[in-house]
Amino acid sequence: MQGQQRPISKTSQQATQPLDIAAARSAAAFRAYLQQYELHPLDVSITSKVRYLSVWNLFKGKPITADHAVRVRLGLYAMTSVPYTAPMLLLAEETTPNQEDSGRRGNSSRRV
């Protein structure tokens, strides 16, 4: 085995995706809040009157609409009497075709 070289793994040559720190922190804070108050995501979505997918997106650190973020905050407050103050990632506001970007929608997000 002295003359044999180890084969190079294909995965060692692939570039890794950078970790989105804001998304990771947002998701961790949301999961910790739900765990601390023993809340189930489905109950949060029902109380907040938002789709379950919006709560799941928060759980995974993905952006949601500003309207759903407000509703989730109000729903969490109604369930716990403790305001949820951690940042939530929001989808970029949608544009109209008359604006300068010619109606293209971006995948960017912002923190609130």
pLDDT tens for each residue of 24-62: 999 999 999 999 999 999 999 999 999 999 999 999 999
CA-derived radius of gyration, the chain: 20
Q: Counting Cβ atoms within 10 Å, is residue 85 exposed (0-12), middle (13-18) or buried (19+)?
A: exposed
pLDDT band at 7 (very low <50, low <70, confident <90, very high): low
**pTM, whole model, 2 decimals?**
0.70
3-class DSSP state of 90: strand
Q: Map out the domains of the chain with their CATH numbers.
A: 20-92 (1.10.260.40)
pLDDT digits (tens, 9 = 90+) for 56-100: 999 999 999 999 999 999 999 999 999 999 999 999 876 555 555
Query: What separation in angstroms does the CA of 19 have from each of 16, 25, 102?
Result: 9, 11, 31
Counting residues of the chain whose pLDDT is more than 70, the rounded percentage is 66
pLDDT of residue 9: 57
1, pLDDT greater than 60: no
